[in-house]
């Protein structure tokens, strides 16, 4: 999603694309600590964009402190439930992310605006379930793209005009 960082800069944002530690085996603790070390002084002008499990890390980072403030949040292929995770190693990776609860009451008080972008053919993120959960738990505005898979380059996704429009609304 480096292209998204470039789009943010073109719009006038100071952007940081964060390389997360050990992306093949992401853990909640390591990813939240990493965000804590790279996000300096988040405030109501700080907007977060996260893809898939990255959005999970952002939410857990935000809820980890009583002093964090934030602006808008944008989730691309975000999830609270998954499908198509068949390998035991992959199940072990996602299990803690699914089983450790997120404090939605706290997050609703902190996050002023949340947008979730889904694809109608994502092999991992069941659309209907996740749409409902994001609406219910975070008052999310929902955007559904057609045929974008999990929004990866392997899915042919190299830009997303709808996401750029959402980012423009952050200005």
Over residues 37-51, the pLDDT tens digits come to 999 899 999 999 999
Q: What is the dihedral of CA 150, 152, 155, 160, to 10 degrees?
A: 90
> b/e string for 95-104 if b means 16 or more Cβ within 10 A?
eebeeeebeb
Asked if residue 159 has pLDDT above 90, the reply is no
Please give the pLDDT value at position 170. 85
- 111 vs 5, 44, 62, CA distance in Å? 21, 9, 9
Q: Is 53 helix (H, G, I), strand (E, B) or coil?
A: helix
Residue 158 pLDDT grade (very low, low, confident, very high; cuts 50, 70, 90): confident
> Domains in the chain, ordered, with CATH?
2-9+28-169 (3.40.50.1820)
Joined tokens for residue 58 = 């952002």
Please indicate, yes or no, whether the overall pTM of this predicted structure exceeds 0.85.
Answer: yes
* CA pair distance 54, 112, nearest whole angstrom: 19
What is the residue-averaged pLDDT of the chain?
Answer: 94
Percent of the chain at pLDDT > 90 equals 84
* CA pair distance 148, 22, nearest whole angstrom: 26
Tell me how far apart the terminal alpha carbons of the chain are, to the nearest angstrom: 20
pLDDT, tens digit (0-9, with 9 covering 90-100), for 132-154: 999 999 999 999 999 999 999 99
Percent of the chain at pLDDT > 70 equals 99
Asked if residue 2 has pLDDT above 80, the reply is no
Average the pLDDT over 87-96 and give the result: 97
Please give the pLDDT value at position 1. 66
Under 8 Å CB-to-CB from 136, ≥6 apart: which residues? none
Instruction: State the residue for tokens 């803690």.
Output: 96
Please give the pLDDT value at position 151. 95
Overall residue count recorded for the chain in this entry: 171
């Amino acid at each position: 999603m480096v292209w998204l960082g470039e789009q943010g800069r073109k719009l006038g944002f100071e952007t940081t694309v964060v390389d997360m530690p050990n992306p093949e085996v992401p853990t909640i603790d390591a990813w939240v600590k990493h965000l804590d070390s790279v996000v300096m002084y988040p405030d109501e002008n700080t907007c977060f964009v996260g893809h898939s499990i990255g959005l999970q890390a952002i939410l857990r980072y935000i809820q980890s402190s009583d002093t964090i403030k934030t602006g808008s949040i944008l989730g691309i292929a975000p999830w609270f439930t998954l499908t198509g995770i068949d390998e035991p190693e992959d199940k072990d990776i996602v299990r803690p992310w699914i089983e450790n609860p997120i404090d939605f009451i706290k997050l609703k008080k902190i996050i002023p605006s949340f947008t979730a972008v889904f694809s109608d053919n994502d092999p991992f993120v069941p659309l209907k379930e996740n749409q409902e959960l994001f609406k219910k738990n975070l008052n999310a505005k929902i955007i559904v793209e057609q045929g974008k898979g999990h929004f990866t380059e392997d899915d042919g996704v190299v830009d997303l005009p709808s996401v750029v429009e959402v980012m423009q609304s952050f200005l």
